[in-house]
Amino acid sequence: MTLSARTRTALRGAARFLGEAGLVLWAAVTLAFLVLKAVPGDPVDVMLGPLSSATPEARAMIRADLGLDKPLPTQYASHLGRMVTGDLGMSYQQQRPVSDILTEQLGATMALAAAAMVLAVVLACGAALVTRRGWLRGVADATELLAVSAPVFWTALVLASVFSYQLGWFPIVGGTAAQRVILPAIALALPVAGVLAQVLRHGMDQAESQPFAVTAMARGASHRRLTSHHLMRHGFASTLTLSGFLFGSLLGGAVIVETVFARPGIGRVALGAITNRDLPVVMGVVVFSGIGFLIINAVVDVLARAVDPRLRKAADA
């Protein structure tokens, strides 16, 4: 079989991605299984809740129904099998398929995360480009440190206190969808923007200290040209290593922000499931998290290769 080098590279990239995706999904599903098995006590008790008065016969039937009377490897195999077909099980609490519950809530969380992401990128780029030198730089450094350090639930509460209760600009209840998303998105965006701005500026500073920046200036380039034609690209390239951090901040932050602002979404469902020990829903969140991570990773990977061609070579080696 003769393939062009380009096709081979593309195939290799696809194989790598599929391999990683399979690994992550397998890990998510296995983790979910382990969580289910690690819970102390009888899962049927957990499922029925402490107030249930089911007879031992009924319990045995449920157990057989769920396959809990079979040996562990068999249970694991059937668990894997169900996951592969997209069956995440039934919620103990709501008696509805987990996949339905989660897909219903996905839109709200995605809208929040997307709004936060856009906001964070705008804030970070603005801060990094405007405040490269002088006294503004000191102000930006301090602001970013605060944004990165302040807990999301605190900024969320402070924002709600000032803008919802004191000023009444963004009511917690009522208002348009856009009005309702603004404060949660800001709360979620601030720490992300802080880290992005720090990394972006650091990347640009690093690039500026490299000999190629001196070379560009020696060609007669102005500072503006140096920034726009050389440094910015390096700054962006350095932010693309942050995909894991971004994903974690957005997902972890969503749990908190959705609770503070009483918004629907995956985070709120996850919290409810953990509080009520609705394990199938918890497992579903784990699997969704794995898929979400894979998607973000793939997008960032494509972006990174577009910005930094050295990565293409490194991935082929």
Contact, 152 vs 255, CB < 8 A? no
Residue 127 or 283 with smaller CB distance to other proteins: 283
134 counts as binding other proteins under rule CB under 8 A: no
Tokens linked to 121: 């990128």
Q: Among 115, 197, 237, 240, which residue interacts with other proteins (rule: CB under 8 A)?
A: 237
What does DSSP assign to residue 162? I
Residues 18-57 that bind other proteins (CB under 8 A): 19-20, 23-24, 27-28, 31, 35, 38-40
Minimum CB distance to other proteins smaller for 8 or for 96: 8
User: Any residues with CB less than 8 A from the CB of 78 and at least 6 apart, and which?
Assistant: 67, 70
| Structure token digits, residue 194 | 């802080």
Going from the C-alpha of 181 to that of each of 90, 113, 116, 258, 268, the distances in angstroms are 30, 10, 9, 10, 15
Nearest distance from residue 35's CB to other proteins, in Å? 6
How far, in Å, CA of 231 to CA of 241, rounded? 17
CA distance 262 to 184: 10
Choice from 61, 64, 146, 299 touching other proteins (CB under 8 A): 146
**Choices 100-108, 115-123, 197-205, 278-286; region in contact with other proteins by CB under 8 A:** 278-286
Record the tokens describing residue 106, joined without a space.
Answer: 């996905």
Other residues' Cβ atoms within 10 Å of the Cβ of residue 73: 8
To other proteins, the closest distance from the beta carbon of 252 in angstroms equals 3
Among 251, 269, 300, 304, binds other proteins (CB under 8 A): 251
d(C-alpha 172, C-alpha 181), whole Å: 10
Site for other proteins in 150-189 (CB under 8 A): 150-154, 157-158, 160-161, 165-166
| Interface of this chain with other proteins, residues 201 to 220, rule: CB under 8 A | 210-212, 214-220
Work out whether 277 is an interface residue with other proteins (CB under 8 A).
Answer: yes
Comparison of 37 and 64: residue with beta carbon closer to other proteins: 37
Token reading at 311: 């990565």
The yes or no reply on residue 244 touching other proteins (CB under 8 A) is yes
Binding-site size, other proteins (CB under 8 A) = 81
Q: Which stretch binds other proteins (CB under 8 A): 113-121, 123-131, 197-205, 284-292?
A: 284-292
CB of 12 to other proteins, least distance (A): 5
Identity at 275, one-letter amino acid code:
T
Q: Which stretch binds other proteins (CB under 8 A): 56-64, 88-96, 106-114, 232-240?
A: 232-240
What lies within 8 Å, CB to CB, of 12 at 6+ separation is 316
CA distance 165 to 139: 29
Q: Which of 130, 248, 299, 302 binds other proteins (CB under 8 A)?
A: 248
CA atoms within 13 A on the CB side of 256: 17
Least spacing, CB of residue 108 vs other proteins, in Å: 18
Stretches 97-105, 125-133, 178-186, 272-280: which one binds other proteins (CB under 8 A)? Answer: 272-280
Q: Does residue number 96 form part of the binding site for other proteins (CB under 8 A)?
A: no
CB of 68 to other proteins, least distance (A): 17
Q: Which is nearer to other proteins, 74 or 222 (CB)?
A: 222
Identity (one letter) of the amino acid at 287?
A: V
Characterise 41 by phi-psi region: left (phi > 0), alpha (psi -120 to 50), beta (else): left
- Give the chain's length: 317
Q: Is 116 in the site for other proteins (CB under 8 A)?
A: no
